[in-house]
Amino acid sequence: MSNPVSALPEAEFKGIATVSEAGLRGMITVRGNFASKSFAKTLKSVAGCTIPDARKINAGSDGRMLAWMSPDELLLVTDYASVEADLTALLSGFGDEHTMAVNVSDARAVFSIAGAGARETIAKVAPVDMSATDFGDGDFRRTRFAQVPAAFWKSGEDVFTVVCFRSVAQYMFDLLSVASQEGSEVGVF
């Protein structure tokens, strides 16, 4: 096996926020019945957290995150190196129950938007209320960034993590670079 390579290694842009490609993350699409106790139990044992409410993301064990994608879909975020083990654990935990768990780590690109202008940068491309009162720790949105699907959450003070499809990583980087261009502060958040 050769070294896995992310979509835009080292890409970075500095404007009113710093936009950088964040390398490969482990991601598993999980689908199932949220009301099922065994389903929740398996997730708890693998992710280390409960199933998040709608439009939320929960922090789990060893940096794992569990995000709400739809009423029957979750996204487990984990270390890239842990994906196979986590996937195996999920599948064995689910057993015969009607569920789905699929590795989608390579289908994605991950970006970090950091700095005082991070909220504004996102508000320029995503139809989301980015005010601090409306979007904070534990919030998660599966939405669009301009013309492509994207999901994001707050991953630190003035830091946000954005996930999109790998094929549009260049578009996403260009888009966030334009949105965070020098001199484009809005000054409202």
Nearer to other proteins, 73 or 158 (CB): 73
Rg (the chain; Cα; Å): 17
Nearer to other proteins, 114 or 128 (CB): 128
What is the binding site for other proteins (CB under 8 A)?
1-7, 24, 29, 31, 72, 98-100, 102-108, 120, 123-131, 134, 146-148, 165-171, 174-175, 178-179, 181-186, 188
**CB-facing half-sphere around the CA of 98: CA atoms within 13 A:** 3
What's the CA gap between 129 and 100, in Å, rounded? 32
Amino acid at 58: N
Nearer to other proteins, 47 or 172 (CB): 172
What's the CA gap between 145 and 128, in Å, rounded? 10
Distance in Å, CB of 81 to other proteins, minimum: 12
Distance in Å, CB of 183 to other proteins, minimum: 3
Rounded to whole angstroms, what are the CA distances from 121 to 30, 72, 136? Answer: 30, 30, 16
Distance in Å, CB of 154 to other proteins, minimum: 17
What's the CA gap between 9 and 111, in Å, rounded? 11
Distance in Å, CB of 4 to other proteins, minimum: 3
Distance in Å, CB of 114 to other proteins, minimum: 20
**CB-facing half-sphere around the CA of 114: CA atoms within 13 A:** 11
Nearer to other proteins, 54 or 188 (CB): 188
Nearer to other proteins, 14 or 61 (CB): 14
